A and B are shown apart, each in its own frame.
Chain A
């Protein structure tokens, strides 16, 4: 396999492997449920695990671009859609556990929760914002929207990831070690982009002396 420029066939194979890898967290959860090894509070365990993996996949998705820049492996971009869709998949399951296992579809209580509990408000906002990204992830939708519009829409992943980390931060009782870790990692991933953008602007200014005034 040409590592720099894999053939289409190799990318396809890679995608299948990645698809299966991304299912491991869910398989692990189901296996633990089957073996009755989810602890004293299984519903809390399931909700936490699915929430954690939503955040993990959001960060992994955001890692693709920096990784591509650093390594020069541009084909990594072709795996990004699947990673983002998995973030949505785990986020949707996380929401479903809340609606079904936690609240048992008691819609009035759910509505009250969303309005009244800031950590649920931001979590809910994050999953709502993810939905159009999932819907517009197909090639057809990309064409229909046009590249620029599509890119602008999909930049909302930055806000979604921030909301996700805030959601985690606000729900823990006292020990913020874990949410802090996610905040730092997200800070690095977003900081990298901000820095690159600033440098890009500077370069443009330097290249075009007329732009300076």
Chain B
């Protein structure tokens, strides 16, 4: 895979989704391989500063023709408590996170525990662009063009053993790079988990970028989980450890408020958060709220994973 470095781009200049969708026309027009170069020559607005743009992205499955949430909103309205609990904080303070070198340790019930450098992970599989809806447990949603590959591709590298039933993920826990960790708002490190079949589902991806570029730090660089039929907090960011286990792992939010956040956390308009309704959501950029869809609109793909399960009990 080819990674090219863009240069001389002001961080304040942001690509609108309309421009983003027309990007291929511009490339053709300029007859250049590098989008950054083409955009530069044509004097087009750019995305965030020194981010690396991925070349030759494949269009992934499960697309949507819904309007994409503007890059500015995707990168300035974040829940990433390691950088503060305010939604504007991560964009302001996540620059302290160093994402190179970066190692992900895959361990637990596997035949061959392994450590992967981020460079190796990026070469594991062809990177795809996946346009997914993201529904936050707080009642807002976005449509984000992620760049990534199926999580299954990474998990298959280590050959899980028969006893492995769940996968546990852990975020980096480094107070020097993550100022929010000094507060005890959550029990650090941030942990998340999936059932093995959820983890292996083709919808579940490891994202390494968005809007065609490397992930901004505030969105969970250098790699994060995206599980589009679950509430956004399941999409654990800046992952350093993946562990195969037999029993259901305890997640950071279950630990913080067990009556409010369950292990499954599937998007479900019929099961309310104890303190607020989940029946509707505000798509960022929209004025009126819209109805929330079962499994965030991915019921056809994932419904069979939960056949016969009491979704109120296993919330």
Q: Are B275 and A119 in contact (CB under 8 A)?
A: yes
Let me know if B88 is at the binding interface, CB within 8 A. yes
List of B residues within 8 angstroms of A41 by Cβ = 77, 87, 140, 282, 284
A-B Cβ contacts below 8 A, count: 50
Flag the segment in A19-27, A66-74, A152-160, A166-174 that touches B: A166-174
How distant is the Cα of A113 from the Cα of B273 in the complex, in angstroms? 12
Q: Please tell me which one of the listed residues A40, A104, A113, A119 contacts residue B73 in the complex, with CB atoms under 8 A apart.
A: A40
How distant is the Cα of A90 from the Cα of B131 in the complex, in angstroms? 40
Q: Please tell me which one of the listed residues B185, B256, B275 contacts residue A170 in the complex, with CB atoms under 8 A apart.
A: B275
How distant is the Cα of A39 from the Cα of B74 in the complex, in angstroms? 11
How distant is the Cα of A170 from the Cα of B274 in the complex, in angstroms? 11
Q: Please tell me which one of the listed residues A40, A103, A112, A113 contacts residue B284 in the complex, with CB atoms under 8 A apart.
A: A40
How distant is the Cα of A143 from the Cα of B277 in the complex, in angstroms? 45
How distant is the Cα of A116 from the Cα of B273 in the complex, in angstroms? 11
How distant is the Cα of A175 from the Cα of B185 in the complex, in angstroms? 6
How far is the CB of A156 from the nearest CB of chain B, in Å? Answer: 26
Let me know if B49 is at the binding interface, CB within 8 A. no
Known contacts A39-B76, A41-B77, A104-B288: does B85 contact A175 (CB below 8 Å)?
yes
List of A residues within 8 angstroms of B282 by Cβ = 41, 43-44
List of B residues within 8 angstroms of A44 by Cβ = 140, 282
Let me know if A117 is at the binding interface, CB within 8 A. yes
Q: Please tell me which one of the listed residues A109, A170, A173 contacts residue B138 in the complex, with CB atoms under 8 A apart.
A: A173
List of A residues within 8 angstroms of B88 by Cβ = 39
- Interface size in chain A (residues, C-beta < 8 A): 22
Let me know if A187 is at the binding interface, CB within 8 A. no
List of B residues within 8 angstroms of A113 by Cβ = 277
Let me know if B186 is at the binding interface, CB within 8 A. yes
List of B residues within 8 angstroms of A119 by Cβ = 275-276
For window 128-182 of A, CB contacts with B under 8 Å fall at 170-171, 173-175, 177
How far is the CB of B84 from the nearest CB of chain A, in Å? Answer: 9
List of B residues within 8 angstroms of A101 by Cβ = 287
Q: Are B275 and A174 in contact (CB under 8 A)?
A: no
How far is the CB of B92 from the nearest CB of chain A, in Å? Answer: 12
Let me know if A6 is at the binding interface, CB within 8 A. no
List of B residues within 8 angstroms of A191 by Cβ = none
List of A residues within 8 angstroms of B276 by Cβ = 117, 119
List of A residues within 8 angstroms of B87 by Cβ = 39-41
How far is the CB of B171 from the nearest CB of chain A, in Å? Answer: 16
Q: Are B185 and A174 in contact (CB under 8 A)?
A: yes
List of B residues within 8 angstroms of A173 by Cβ = 138
Let me know if B257 is at the binding interface, CB within 8 A. yes
How distant is the Cα of A102 from the Cα of B256 in the complex, in angstroms? 28
How far is the CB of B90 from the nearest CB of chain A, in Å? Answer: 12
Q: Are A39 and B77 in contact (CB under 8 A)?
A: yes
List of A residues within 8 angstroms of B275 by Cβ = 117-119, 170-171
Q: Please tell me which one of the listed residues B185, B285, B289 contacts residue A104 in the complex, with CB atoms under 8 A apart.
A: B289
How distant is the Cα of A171 from the Cα of B73 in the complex, in angstroms? 23
How distant is the Cα of A109 from the Cα of B277 in the complex, in angstroms? 10
List of A residues within 8 angstroms of B73 by Cβ = 40
How distant is the Cα of A174 from the Cα of B282 in the complex, in angstroms? 21
How distant is the Cα of A41 from the Cα of B72 in the complex, in angstroms? 12
List of B residues within 8 angstroms of A102 by Cβ = 289
How distant is the Cα of A119 from the Cα of B77 in the complex, in angstroms? 24
How distant is the Cα of A101 from the Cα of B87 in the complex, in angstroms? 20
Known contacts A43-B282, A104-B289: does B186 contact A174 (CB below 8 Å)?
yes
Chain A, residue nearest B285 (CB): A40
Q: Are B77 and A40 in contact (CB under 8 A)?
A: yes
List of B residues within 8 angstroms of A175 by Cβ = 81, 85, 183, 185
List of A residues within 8 angstroms of B85 by Cβ = 174-175, 177
How far is the CB of A170 from the nearest CB of chain B, in Å? Answer: 6
For window 264-315 of B, CB contacts with A under 8 Å fall at 272, 275-277, 282, 284-285, 287-289
List of A residues within 8 angstroms of B138 by Cβ = 173
- Across the A-B interface, the 10 shortest Cβ-Cβ residue pairs: A40-B77, A40-B73, A175-B85, A175-B185, A40-B284, A174-B185, A104-B288, A41-B140, A174-B256, A117-B276
If A109-B277, A174-B186, A175-B183 are given as contacts, then 11 extra A-B residue pairs at C-beta distance below 8 Å, sorted by A number, are A40-B77, A40-B87, A43-B287, A101-B287, A103-B289, A171-B275, A174-B81, A174-B85, A175-B81, A175-B85, A177-B85
21 of the cross-chain contacts (CB-CB < 8 Å) are A39-B87, A40-B77, A40-B285, A41-B77, A41-B87, A41-B140, A41-B284, A44-B140, A102-B289, A103-B289, A104-B289, A109-B277, A112-B277, A116-B272, A117-B276, A170-B275, A173-B138, A174-B185, A175-B183, A175-B185, A177-B85
